Amino acid sequence: MPPSATANSLPNPQRIATARSALSAAMWARGDNPAIADEAVIDLLADLRHFCAARRIDFAACNEAAETHFANEISGGR
């Protein structure tokens, strides 16, 4: 990502590619099969919950904000 770009400034295809890359990296780190499937997403979400718990970050609040961001992005900001 160029230094001037932010995750929110990327078009949806680039965001999807970034999410796939993050998922692949997380699966590689865990030693899982690189095929992206429901279980891989579930494992990544569980890992994020562990990350939040260890750092006292409110996962539910982050998830709620992410849902709002996603809704705005998927609707084209309308």
32 Cβ contact partners less than 8 Å away, ≥ 6 residues apart: 40, 43
- Segments making up each domain of the chain, as ranges: 11-74
Residue 23 has a pLDDT of: 76
User: Tens digit of pLDDT for each residue in 17-62?
Assistant: 777 787 777 777 777 665 666 777 888 888 889 989 999 999 999 9
Residue whose pair of structure tokens reads 């994020």 in the numeric block: 48
8-state DSSP, 55: T
The pLDDT value recorded for residue 10 is 58
Q: What is the pTM of this model?
A: 0.60
Residue 1: pLDDT band with limits 50, 70, 90: very low
